Amino acid sequence: MRVASATLVAVGILSSGGAWASPEKMTGTWSRGDGLAAVMINKCGAAICAVNTWVKDPSNGEKVGDRLVMNVSPKADGKLSGTAFDPQRNLTYRIDISVADQSMKTRGCVLGGLLCKSVGWTKQ
């Protein structure tokens, strides 16, 4: 199963300098660490949406406009967790997010945690 969506946000461990992460801290444009995509993260109703704004190679199925809908809440210092729904692939991920001022790491898992992917992000 392919879990490499540009909007698949998945986690490592980052510190946010002592403040609990809020979903609002994620708002803005983020570049994926591998240089293959960028997303705009904003509130969308009660959820948070990450929408692809740039994709280097759309031949792998990712395209500008693809969206990930996240329902996350603060869990610890600099960390959020919850679920993310990818309507393009009809998949729901368990998601953990570590966010700092200019960097973010995400970890998304499917199949009960059997298949996970972590991605680093830099705020533009």
pLDDT band for 87, please (50, 70, 90 cuts): very high
% the chain with pLDDT above 90? 63
pLDDT of residue 18: 36
Q: What is the CATH number of domain 23-123?
A: 2.40.128
Average pLDDT over residues 70-94: 92
Domain regions of the chain by residue span: 23-123
Q: In Å, how far from its chain's centre is CA 85?
A: 11
∠ CA 63-102-93, rounded to 5°? 45
DSSP code for 101: S
How far from 87 is each of 5, 45, 84, CA to CA, in Å?
11, 16, 10
Give residue-wise pLDDT tens across range 2-12: 334 433 333 22
